[in-house]
Amino acid sequence: MSTISGPRKPKFVDPTPRIRRPFHDFLRSRLLAALVAGLVGVAGSARGQAEPDNDEPDEKPPVQARFELPEEQFDQWVFEGRGDVAAQRARLESLLRLHLDQLDRICRLTEPQRRKLQLAGRGDVTRFFDRVEVVRVKFRAVRKDQNKVGEIFQEIQPLQQSLHAGMFQDTSLLYKTLQRTLTAEQLAGFGKVDQERRRFRYQAKVGLAVAMLENSMPLDDQQRQKLLTLIEQETQPPKKYGQYDYYVVLVQMSKIPEAKLKPLFDDGQWRVLKQQLTQMRGMEQFLKQNGFLP
C-alpha cells in the first residue's frame, strides 16, 4: 500500500556570511611558500619514481630535486611584487620630496629647515633598508632549507607593515625632527592641517569598513549615515595605518554600548552584525601587540 508523503521540510540555510579570517595576508604568503615547496617536492618525486625504459633494474638511487628559492624571491615577498630595492628606494625618495613640498606649502620652510627635514627623512629610508638587509641575511640562511623557509615570514611581515603604513608617520625621524625644527607659528599651522588630514583619512577607513559590512547586511541611507556618525564619535584612528585598518574599526565597534548600536538595525541585521563583532574580538590582542589599536 503506497503512502502519500507530505511536503519536505525546507532545509535551513544560515544567511550569515563568513568574514575574512584573521591574518589572511600572512597565511596567504605562508601558503605560497608551501605551494613552492610542494611543487619542488612533487617534481623530485616524479623523477625519482619514473619507470625505466627497459626491464633491467636501475641500480642508481633516485635523484632528489634540490630545494632552493632564488635570491629574487625575497624582494618579491617584502615589496609584494613591486620591484627590487633600487625601485623601492627611488619610490620612497619621491614620496619624501612630495612630503617636504607639502610641508613647505603649509609652513613656508626656510632652506635650513628643509635641509634638516630632508636629512631626517632620508634617515628613515636608510633605517628601513637596514632592517631589510638584516632580514635578507636570515633569508639566505634558510632559502635552501624547505623545513625552515616558512619561519622567515615572521620577519618579513613587519617590513610589509611599514610600507603599508607609510615611512614618515608619528614615530619617524622626520616627524620627531619636525617637532624640534618648526617655529611655534609653523607648528600651529601644521597641527591644524595635520589634524584635518587625519580626520579625513579615518573617515575614509570607516566608510570602507561599513561598505564591507554591507556585503552581508545591506543598509538604507539613513542607517548608513547614522552608523558612520556613531563610529566616528565612539572610535579613534589607528596608531598606525596598514592592512589591518578594517579590523581596527570593527574591534572598536565591538566596544560600543549595545544600547547605542542596536537601535540602528532591524533584528536580522543585528544578528549578522553581532556575530561579526563577536568574531572580531579575537583580533584585539593581535592588534594591541602589533601597535595598531589606539
Each residue's pLDDT tens digit, 183-235? 999 999 999 998 888 889 899 999 999 999 999 999 999 999 999 999 999 99
Q: For residue 159, what are the contacts with CB-CB under 8 A and spacing of at least 6?
A: 78, 128, 131, 132, 135
Last residue of a domain, one of 112, 147, 182: 182
- Average pLDDT over every residue of 50-65: 55
75 lies in the same domain as 98: yes
The more confident residue out of 93 and 59 is 93
106 lies in the same domain as 168: yes
Last residue of a domain, one of 147, 182, 217: 182
144 lies in the same domain as 214: no
222 lies in the same domain as 294: yes
Residues 243-277 pLDDT 10s: 888 999 999 999 999 999 999 999 999 999 999 99
Q: Does residue 4 lie in a domain region?
A: no
| Residue 18 reports pLDDT greater than 60 | no
168 lies in the same domain as 115: yes
Q: Does residue 13 lie in a domain region?
A: no
Burial class of residue 121 in the structure, from the number of CB atoms within 10 Å of its CB (0-12 exposed, 13-18 middle, 19+ buried): buried
152 lies in the same domain as 213: no
109 lies in the same domain as 161: yes
Q: How many domains does the chain have?
A: 2
Contact by Cβ (8 Å): 213, 261: no
Tell me what pLDDT residue 56 has. 54
Q: Does residue 129 lie in a domain region?
A: yes
| Residue 26 reports pLDDT greater than 60 | no
Report the Cα 180 to chain-centroid distance in Å. 31
Report the distance separating Cα 200 and Cα 224, nearest Å.
17
Q: Read out DSSP for 123-180? A: HHHHHHHHHHHHHHHHHHHHTT-TTTGGGGHHHHHHHHHHHHH-TTSTTSHHHHHHHH
Tell me what pLDDT residue 247 has. 92
Interhelix angle 24-49/153-165, rounded to 10 degrees, is 140
Last residue of a domain, one of 182, 210, 231: 182
Report the distance separating Cα 24 and Cα 245, nearest Å.
13
Show the cell assigned to 134: 638584516
Residues 65-114 pLDDT 10s: 677 888 899 999 999 888 889 999 999 999 999 999 999 999 999 999 99
Residues 135-175 pLDDT 10s: 999 999 888 888 888 888 888 988 988 888 788 888 899 99
Domain range enclosing 247:
194-294
